[in-house]
């Protein structure tokens, strides 16, 4: 049952098995007018009905979260609201007036500030310029640099971030870049603030800081539209939740009236709600309250051969020499805060950076990994954290993107036939549930989460022996996430080794056979079995553990 035809000013019809929530929603709504609303908004792309007669409303002083699986239409709705896309049908109202923004700049001028899903900052400009690009404070007609610098520092200080704002943005890791984008979105007065997956690469403390600010903004009457795939975050911050499914609005709920498993069931459709997923939803929501989690993480490391061994491998200024082994058929998790050396370790393993000390052994034999090409030849794949910079090639098709690593490994002179490429791409699109109308479409047209899946498909298609996954589930919806992790575990049972990096400790624990903990660019511990519980790992990360 969908409710997309309901008028935005009317309360929702009670859901199947009407909950007491229907009444409290009604009370809650009659009081105020929405600041931003759509009625009957539709948007069709070739082969995809991205939005179908969507009614949506956002009230002042609330945090309203859009939830839905990858490709459900969340970003498209935001793009329509903010003038990036023109809807095919329907109307948008801001403060009761019908509006049709021709560009995001027009929306901004009307007080609608947006942080888009794919952070579009300028990597080669300074942090300060990025925060104020296009609206630099001027004095006597000239750009006032000292003022920009001071104000950029202030904007970041509100997020508890202090960095050199004169350095270029690409000098910083992706999570910091995301904080800069958030600082930019927060740096002017707005009536409406829209954040499309702002937390996908932030760690817990950064998320907490952002939420503190959002609560503050909310109290001052700003309306906040938020998109996330983290259920725990949804419940931590939301007053209201709109669920999108296949381009339709499934329903609108008060967060307190909707349990996590009801929410997931509405996202995926009741008929697809497996016991496993229900369990997962509970686990996500409960993550905060649990003291000691009895994870059903994989069996403790048994005596298998290491596929790869690092002995004293390091790089001056980047990573202190570490010893590390990834065993055949196992997952080694890397836990640590941002900047602890996780990505640096991955880059050394992949030959993206060269080690200046130590030895690397693959299947017992010393090897040189001077370039990614060397690594690929040894059966190593690296799914990088920044899908835009090191990942997808926007102009190429989904098929070409998936085939890229395999083709590179075979050598470009041994071209994979078109027929074979199509078969392989189709197989991975199907296996990972990539929502695409056609494998020949440019990959840029996929939703964020589906691009991420295509990146994973690229490396799985090479049939690697070791796969390095740096934040592989960034932006992937809950249902798909559990599906993908199960699939990876099954591949491990067939001999694949994985180095798994994620800022979500619970996720690292769920899949890893062993977990190496990093702090301040060095490995400080390795835990397995009973010792790998969240509490213990947090203690180690904080420096108070064993």
Ligand X SMILES: Nc1ncnc2c1ncn2[C@@H]1O[C@H](COP(=O)(O)OP(=O)(O)OP(=O)(O)O)[C@@H](O)[C@H]1O
Binding site for ligand X (CB under 6 A): 45, 48, 50, 68, 70-76, 117, 435, 445-450, 475, 477
The residue whose two tokens read 């929306």 is 107
- Three-state SS for 418? helix
**What is d(CA 340, CA 519) in angstroms, rounded to the nearest whole number?**
5
401 binds, options Mg ion, ligand X, none, Cβ within 5 to 8 A by partner type: none
Determine if 397 is a binding residue for Mg ion (CB under 5 A). Answer: no
Residue 465 or 481 with smaller CB distance to ligand X: 481
Nearest distance from residue 72's CB to ligand X, in Å? 4
- Residue 268 binds which entry of ligand X, Mg ion, none, CB below 5-8 Å type-dependent: none
Complex with Mg ion: residue 268 or 499, whichever CB lies closer? 268
Beta bridge partners of 381: 467
Contact in structure between 98 and 91 (CB atoms under 8 Å) = yes
User: At its nearest, how many Å lie between Mg ion and the CB of residue 55?
Assistant: 19
- Token pair 């008028």 is found at 7
CB of 445 to Mg ion, least distance (A): 12
Measured from the Cβ of residue 165, the count of other Cβ atoms closer than 10 Å reads: 24
By beta-carbon proximity to ligand X, the closer residue of 329 and 449 is 449
Q: Which stretch binds Mg ion (CB under 5 A): 116-124, 435-443, 451-459, 510-518?
A: 116-124
Closer residue to ligand X (CB): 29 or 434: 434
238 binds, among Mg ion, ligand X, none (CB under 5 to 8 A by kind): none
CB-based contact 512:332 (threshold 8 Å): yes
User: Encoding tokens for residue 239?
Assistant: 């007053």
Question: Closer to ligand X at the Cβ: 163 or 396?
Answer: 396
240 backbone dihedrals φ, ψ, rounded to 5°: -135, 150
Q: Which of 4, 75, 126, 502 binds Mg ion (CB under 5 A)?
A: 75
Instruction: Report the nearest approach of ligand X to the CB of residue 480 (Å).
Output: 9
497 touches which of Mg ion, ligand X, none (CB within 5 to 8 A by kind)?
A: none
Stretch that binds Mg ion, among 112-120, 124-132, 319-327, 345-353 (CB under 5 A): 112-120
CA distance 76 to 434: 17
Bridging pattern class, strands 514-519 and 331-335 = parallel
Q: Nearest-CA neighbor of 387 among 492, 457, 339?
A: 457
CB nearer to ligand X: pick between 196 and 534: 196
Given Mg ion, ligand X, none, residue 71, with its beta carbon under 5 to 8 Å by kind, binds ligand X
Phi, psi of 532 (to 5 degrees): -90, 70
Q: 68 or 329: whose CB is closer to ligand X? A: 68
Residue burial 363-399, b: 16+ Cβ < 10 Å; e: rest: eeeebebeebeebbebbbbbbbbbbeebbbeeeebbb
Under a CB-based contact definition with an 8 Å cutoff, are residues 41 and 210 in contact?
A: no
Q: Is 452 in the site for Mg ion (CB under 5 A)?
A: no
Q: Quote the least distance from Cβ 83 to ligand X, whole Å.
A: 15
Residue 446 touches which of Mg ion, ligand X, none (Cβ within 5-8 Å per kind): ligand X
Is 126 a binder of Mg ion (CB under 5 A)?
Answer: no
Q: Report which of 282, 251, 245, 267 is spatially closest to residue 25, judged by C-alpha positions.
A: 251
Q: How far is the CB of 227 from Mg ion (least distance, A)?
A: 7
Which position among 251, 341, 391, 448 is part of the footprint of Mg ion (CB under 5 A)?
448
* Contact in structure between 53 and 80 (CB atoms under 8 Å): no
Rg (CA), the chain: 24
Question: Two tokens at 276?
Answer: 């496993």
Select from 25, 114, 117, 533 the one that contacts Mg ion (CB under 5 A): 117
Residue 76, contacted partner among Mg ion, ligand X, none, CB below 5-8 A by kind: ligand X
Residues binding Mg ion (CB under 5 A): 74-75, 117, 447-448
């Amino acid at each position: 049952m969908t409710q997309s035809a309901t008028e935005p000013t009317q309360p929702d019809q009670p859901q199947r098995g009407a909950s007491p929530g229907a009444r409290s929603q009604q009370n809650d709504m009659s009081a105020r007018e929405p600041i931003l609303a759509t009625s009957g908004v539709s948007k069709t792309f070739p082969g995809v009905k991205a939005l179908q007669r969507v009614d949506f409303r956002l009230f002042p002083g609330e945090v309203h979260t859009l939830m839905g699986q990858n490709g459900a239409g969340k970003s498209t709705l935001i793009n329509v609201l903010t003038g990036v896309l023109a809807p095919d049908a329907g109307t948008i109202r801001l403060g009761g007036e019908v509006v049709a923004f021709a560009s995001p700049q027009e929306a901004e001028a009307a007080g609608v500030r947006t942080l888009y899903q794919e952070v579009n900052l300028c990597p080669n400009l300074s942090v300060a310029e990025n925060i104020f690009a296009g609206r630099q404070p001027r004095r006597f007609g000239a750009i006032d640099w000292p003022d920009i610098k001071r104000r950029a520092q202030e904007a970041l200080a509100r997020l508890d971030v202090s960095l050199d704002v004169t350095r270029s943005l690409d000098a910083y890791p992706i999570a910091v870049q995301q904080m800069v984008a958030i600082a930019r979105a927060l740096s002017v007065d707005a009536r409406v603030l829209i954040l499309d997956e702002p937390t996908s690469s932030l760690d817990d403390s950064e998320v907490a800081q952002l939420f503190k600010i959002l609560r503050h903004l909310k109290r001052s009457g700003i309306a906040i539209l938020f998109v996330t795939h983290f259920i725990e975050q949804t419940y931590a911050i939301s007053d209201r939740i709109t669920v999108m499914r296949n381009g339709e609005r499934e329903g609108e709920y008060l967060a307190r009236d909707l349990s996590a498993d009801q929410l997931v069931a509405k996202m995926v459709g009741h008929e697809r709600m497996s016991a496993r997923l229900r369990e997962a939803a509970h686990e996500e929501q409960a993550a905060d309250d649990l003291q000691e989690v009895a994870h059903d993480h994989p069996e403790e490391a048994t005596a298998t051969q290491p596929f790869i061994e690092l002995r004293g491998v390091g790089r001056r200024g980047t990573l202190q020499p570490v010893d590390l082994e990834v065993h055949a058929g196992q997952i080694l998790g890397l836990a640590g805060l941002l900047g602890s050396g996780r990505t640096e370790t991955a880059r050394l393993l992949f030959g993206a950076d060269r080690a200046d000390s130590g030895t690397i052994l693959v299947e017992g034999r010393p090897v040189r990994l001077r370039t990614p090409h060397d690594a690929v030849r040894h059966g190593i794949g690296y799914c990088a954290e920044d899908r835009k910079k090191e990942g997808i090639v926007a102009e190429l098709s989904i098929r070409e993107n998936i085939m890229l690593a395999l083709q590179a490994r075979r050598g470009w002179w041994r071209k994979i036939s078109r027929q074979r490429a199509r078969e392989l791409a189709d197989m991975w699109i199907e296996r990972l549930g990539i929502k695409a109308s056609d494998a020949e479409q440019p990959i840029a047209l996929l939703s964020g989460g589906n691009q991420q899946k295509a990146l994973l498909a690229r490396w799985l298609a090479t049939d690697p022996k070791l796969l390095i996954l740096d934040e592989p589930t960034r932006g992937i919806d809950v249902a798909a996430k559990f599906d993908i992790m199960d699939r990876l575990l099954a591949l491990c049972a067939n001999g694949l080794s994985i180095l798994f990096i994620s800022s979500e400790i619970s996720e690292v624990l769920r899949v890893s056979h062993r977990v190496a903990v990093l702090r301040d660019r060095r490995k400080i511990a390795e835990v397995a079995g009973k010792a790998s519980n969240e509490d213990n790992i947090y203690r180690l990360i904080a420096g108070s553990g064993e």
